[in-house]
A and B are shown apart, each in its own frame.
Chain A
Amino acid sequence: MTAMLQKKICMLGAFSVGKTSLVRRYVSSVFSDTYLTTVGVKIDKKTVDLDGRTVNLILWDLAGEDDVNALRLSYLRGAAGYVLVADGTRPATLDVALSLRGRVEADYGPLPFVLLLNKNDLPDQWTITEGDMDGLRNAGWWVRSSSARTGEGVEDAFMDLAVRTVR
């Protein structure tokens, strides 16, 4: 029997981009349209199998950053990786995600991360172009669009990040 691993993964992003919804979709396969703001941090566990090895992903769903309340970076202590989340219908949230990445790297060094451009189930309101995404990919980022509502892109993102955290 292989040893169980635990890896702490943090969810970062501006407020109301879908961090909590992505965790609920990934851990419990549920979605709710009701927006309930996160205060502090919520912690969930998802057990996955990575090539025969059981890994517990400890998901830290952090309160979103806004103009008044900056992200408490100390929450990232001991994190093996993080998920940056932006709302594809609110272009300013991508700027917040990019800024957060810079601050995390400054405090904790180059940790594995993925960037999710969430809410791709709203194509009429979508503002991020393929060109924008290609630009980030060309910089070496793992970037995908996702939807916590439909589940698209969610499983792949967490699994890819999990694989990179256990290497």
Chain B
Amino acid sequence: MVGERAVAWLQIDTDLILTGAGGRLDRYGLAELRAGEPVLDQAYFLEGLLPLEETPYFVPSVEMAGDVSADLHFHIDGGGVWLLLLDVTAERDATRRIQQKAYDMTLLQEKEVLLNRRLEAVNAALRETQRELEASRDLARRELERKHLELAEARTLQLALAPPPFRGVVGTRAVAVDVILEPAKEVGGDLVDHFLIDNDLLVFLLGDVSDKGAGAALMMARTHALFRGLINRPDAPSLFRAPENAVRLVNRTLSASNASCMFVTLLIAAFDGAAKRLTYTRAGHVPPFLRRFDGAVERLGAAGGLPLGLSEDAVYRSESVVLRPGDEVLTVTDGITEAMDSSQAQFGEDRVGELMGGGLQRLLKDVKAFEAGGVQSDDIAAVLLRIENT
């Protein structure tokens, strides 16, 4: 037992001088101790422990040189101190094995708790983000639904601006006027209108705003209102009998406050039932088609001036043609002439001329068939004036 414990001993006097040593000093790296010299200079591990204040005094498991651990047992005897060193390396190693496992396990558990906490924080953040996204999505959906409703309402109002067909006598001529208006989106920038002045002057007009959508629709509505506003003027007959005058007035107003720089191509024509003449002003618009009673088709291509909205001082002029019973005048927007099929080929102006005589609904049907189910790329509008055979 003594051998297993590798007992070593030191004897120290009251002046902390080493007076003797023996046993297995080598085991603890103390083989070089010198009696008669201060013990604290030779065994620094005793610093603070001496002089002893109580007896016996025990310091367990002190690691010495060579990875050996010793229990230190101090006893005061006759004024001096005896120190016994007992090897406890085996017990230390056994304790270390158990302690190491326990601490490693505890550290793993601590890490697991921390990881779980972080995962929970991440999950909570993700859930919150998901809630926010769902709220944003719901808000966006409600906003979209609201806008769709508003646009649907605007479309209804805009389509209501297109007048119903006219069948009646203008001056001494029986006249028919038909219109079609199909915006490409919920609302569009094509304008169609016709009205009677003094029972012998039928005015019709077709306009095409340079943009699409809500902005173009507002420009269209404004232009429509400006022309309609001229009807009740005392000089309305002279304004519309020479339609360049009406165009000049409307253009000045549109050009004066046009921050968005939109413009309107326009065809305005006035049929004087007494004079049997159609007077028209073409402001940058596609030339209308005139189909004579014998089937001959010609274009009314006289230039009339700039599109409306570009220049306050634009000058306009008009041209006239005589219309006889059986004659038709068709004016369309480029949503018809530039309609495209799947190969990107355009419907074309020639095809429009060929279809004259078949009515507007047939023209519209043919344009739709030409597009063959593709998305309508532009607003479609047309006005057809026919001098009836009486």
Q: A-side interface residues toward B, CB under 8 Å? A: 4, 6-8, 15-16, 35-37, 39-43, 45, 56, 58, 66, 68, 72, 74-75, 77-80, 90, 92
Q: A35 to B40: give the CA distance in the assembly, Å.
A: 32
**A40 with B60: CB separation less than 8 A:** yes
CA distance A42 to B100 in the complex (A): 16
Contact A6–B47 (Cβ < 8 Å): yes
Whether the pair B110, A90 counts as a contact (CB closer than 8 A) is yes
Q: Which residues of B contact A4 (CB under 8 A)?
A: 41
Question: 14 A-B contacts, Cβ less than 8 Å apart?
Answer: A16-B103, A36-B96, A36-B100, A40-B60, A43-B44, A45-B44, A56-B44, A56-B47, A58-B44, A66-B103, A66-B106, A74-B59, A75-B59, A78-B49
Q: Beyond A45-B44, A66-B103, A77-B48: 20 further Cβ-contacts under 8 Å?
A: A8-B48, A15-B103, A16-B107, A35-B103, A35-B104, A36-B96, A37-B99, A37-B100, A39-B61, A39-B92, A40-B60, A40-B92, A41-B59, A41-B63, A42-B63, A43-B45, A43-B63, A77-B53, A78-B49, A90-B110
Give, as a whole number of angstroms, the nearest-CB distance from A70 to chain B. Answer: 14
Closest to A5 in B: B47
Interface centre among B44, B48, B61, by most chain A C-beta atoms within 10 angstroms, is: B48
| Consensus secondary structure, chain B interface | helix
Do residues A39 and B104 form an inter-chain contact, with CB atoms below 8 A?
A: no
Provide the main secondary structure of the chain A interface.
Answer: loop
Nearest A residue (CB) for B88: A40
B69 at the interface (CB under 8 A from A): yes
Q: How far is the CB of A89 from chain B (nearest CB, A)?
A: 9
Known contacts A16-B103, A39-B96; is A78 also within 8 Å of B47 by CB?
Answer: yes
A-B pairs with lowest CB-CB distance, top 10? A78-B48, A40-B61, A8-B48, A42-B63, A58-B47, A43-B45, A6-B47, A39-B92, A39-B96, A37-B100
CA distance A16 to B102 in the complex (A): 12
Chain B interface extent, by class: 20 to 34
- C-alpha gap A35/B99 in the complex (Å): 12
Chain B residues near A7: list those with CB within 8 A. Answer: 47
Interface flags for B24-63 (1: CB within 8 Å of A; 0: not) read: 0000000000000000110011011110010000011111
Cβ-defined partner of B48 (8 Å) among A15, A79, A90: A79
Smallest beta-carbon distance A116→chain B, Å: 19
Bound-state CA distance A98–B50 (Å) is 29
Query: CB-CB < 8 A to B48: which residues of A?
Result: 8, 58, 77-80
Closest to A8 in B: B48
B95 in contact (CB, < 8 A): yes
Q: How far is the CA of A152 from the CA of B44 in the complex (A)?
A: 28
B44: A residues at CB distance < 8 A: 6, 43, 45, 56, 58
Q: Residues of A contacting B45 with CB < 8 Å?
A: 43, 58
Output the nearest chain B residue to A76 by Cβ-Cβ distance: B48
Cβ 8 A contact of B60, one of A36, A45, A72: A72
What's the nearest-Cβ distance from chain B to residue A34, in Å? 11
Report the Cα distance A43→B92, complex, angstroms.
15
| Residue contact A37 to B103, C-beta cutoff 8 Å | yes
Give residues 84-98 of B contacting A (CB, 8 Å). 92, 95-96
Output the nearest chain B residue to A7 by Cβ-Cβ distance.
B47
Which B residues are CB-close (under 8 A) to A68? Answer: 102
Q: Could you tell me if B63 and A8 are in contact, using CB atoms closer than 8 angstroms?
A: no
**Least CB distance, A33 to chain B, in whole angstroms:** 13
User: Nearest Cβ distance between residue A29 and chain B, in whole angstroms?
Assistant: 20
**B182 nearest CB across to chain A (Å):** 63
